[in-house]
Amino acid sequence: MSIFQVDAFTKQPFSGNPAAVVPLTQWIGDDLMQRIAMENNLSETAFFVPVAQNVARSPALAGSESSAHFHIRWFTPSVEVNLCGHATLATAYVIFNELGFTGEEIIFQSQSGRLSVTREADGKLTMDLPSWPPVRLPEYPESLITALNREILGVYQYRDLLVELEDEATVRSLQPDFKVLQQLGQSIIVTAPGLKADFVSRFFAPNLGIDEDPVTGSAHTQLIPFWGEKLRKKQLYAKQLSKRGGELWCTWMGDRVRISGHCAFFLKGAISVK
C-alpha cells in the first residue's frame, strides 16, 4: 500500500497538522487500519476507496471528469472517529497533487455524511462540512476547572466540550492536566477572541489518545457557528495556537461551513504488511 504524509493548514513543512493518507482500491480490515494508524502515531490516518462507479479505475482517477467520488474513514492511534478535517484536507491534496486528478471537486462519503473539497486559484483547498453549533451547558464538571486552572466564561457542547476563555493569552498559556481531562471522557476545545484573528483555539483529546491536536478541522465545525453568531460575521479567520500552529479561513453558511487552508507535502512511502 502507498502512504503519504501531508502537513495540513500550513504552507510550510513541520508546521500545521500532519496526517497520513492511505489510498486503497478496496477496504482492508478494520483491525489492520487501526494497527496502521497506531504504527503511524499521528493524530489521524485517513483511508479512502473509490465509490462503486469508480472501482474499475485507478484511485487517481486522472482525466477530465469534473468530480471524483470516494468513501473515507479516519483513525487516531487508538480509535476510529466520525470526522477529521485536517486529514480530509490532506487526502484531497494527495488526490489532486500526487494521484493526478485534474477535475474541480472531490466528494467524500463518510460517517458524517457528504463532504466535498475544491481547489482554489490561490492554492488553498476548501472543504464543505456540516455545521455543528454547540449549545451552552447550564453546569459542567468541577474537574474541568481543575484541569484547565483558568477562569471559564462558558461551556458549550455539540460533539466536543467547547470552553470559552477570556483572551488569546489565556488560550496560548494553558498547560492542562491531561490526566484529569482524560477522566472527563470527552475532547475539549478551548477558545477566545484573537488579536490578529477573529478567534483562536486549542484542542485537547486525551480520550482519543491525543493530548493536543495541532490543528483540528472538525473542531471548527463547532467553532465557526459559535463565533459566527457571537461576532455576527459570516467570514472568519482563525488560528489554532498549538506548538506547530495553523491557520484557517472559514465561512459560516447556516447548516454548513466552509474551511479553507493550505497543505505542505512531506513524504511518500510504502506499507509492507506480511
Question: Tens of pLDDT along 19-42?
Answer: 999 999 999 999 999 999 999 999
Q: What is the pLDDT of residues 134-188, one digit of tens each?
A: 999 999 999 999 999 999 999 999 999 999 999 999 999 999 999 999 999 999 9
Q: Which residues of 129-138 are buried (b: 16+ CB within 10 A; e: fewer)?
A: bbbbbbeeee
237 phi and psi, to 5 degrees? -115, 130
44 is catalytic: yes
The greatest distance separating any two alpha carbons of the chain, rounded to the nearest whole angstrom, comes to: 57
Q: Where in the chain is the domain with CATH 3.10.310.10?
A: 2-129+260-270, 135-252
What topology does CATH give the domain 2-129+260-270?
A: Diaminopimelate Epimerase; Chain A, domain 1 (3.10.310)
Strands (DSSP E) contained in 101-255 are 105-110, 113-119, 125-130, 135-136, 154-157, 161-164, 188-193, 199-205, 210-213, 235-240, 246-252
Amino acid 31 reads D
Average pLDDT over the chain reads: 94
Angstrom distances, CA of residue 269 to CA of 20, 206, 231: 10, 29, 44
DSSP annotation string for 128-140: EEE----EE-S--
Residue 35 has what pLDDT?
A: 97
Nearest-angstrom CA–CA distance, 135 and 65: 41
Task: Return the number of other C-beta atoms located less than 10 Å from residue 78's C-beta.
Answer: 12
| Of 44, 164, 212, 247, catalytic | 44
Domain 135-252 sits in CATH at 3.10.310.10
Q: Could you give the CA distance from residue 45 to residue 241 in angstroms, rounded to a whole number?
A: 22
Cα 255 from Cα 138, distance rounded (Å): 24
Residue 242 burial (CB count, 10 A): 20
pLDDT in tens, 73-132: 999 999 999 999 999 999 999 999 999 999 989 999 999 999 999 999 899 999 999 999
255-274 average pLDDT score: 95
Q: Which three cell numbers stand for residue 122?
A: 490561490
